[in-house]
């Protein structure tokens, strides 16, 4: 499993609540990130912010 179930479910729930066309864009981006950066989790992605 790429993300912990709780984290991935939380992300998908937020995306499902988004209005179109943002929902489709965000769901596609989420899928791309899951495929290309399997070590990332919803919590670790926020830690990559620059100061």
Residue 19 has pLDDT above 70, yes or no: yes
40 vs 24: CA distance, rounded Å: 21
Report H helices in the chain: 5-16, 22-36, 42-45
27 vs 19: CA distance, rounded Å: 12
- Sorted by where each begins, the domain ranges of the chain are 1-36
Tokens 């995306």 found at: 15
14 CB neighbour count, 10 Å cutoff: 13
0.75 cut: is pTM over it?
A: no
Q: When comparing pLDDT for 41 and 21, which is higher?
A: 21
DSSP state of 19: P
Residue 25 has pLDDT above 80, yes or no: yes
């Amino acid at each position: 499993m790429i993300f912990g179930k709780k984290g991935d479910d939380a992300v998908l729930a937020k995306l499902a609540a988004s209005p179109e066309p943002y929902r489709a864009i965000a769901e596609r981006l989420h899928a791309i990130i899951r495929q290309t950066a399997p070590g990332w989790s919803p919590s670790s992605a926020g830690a990559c912010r620059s100061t």
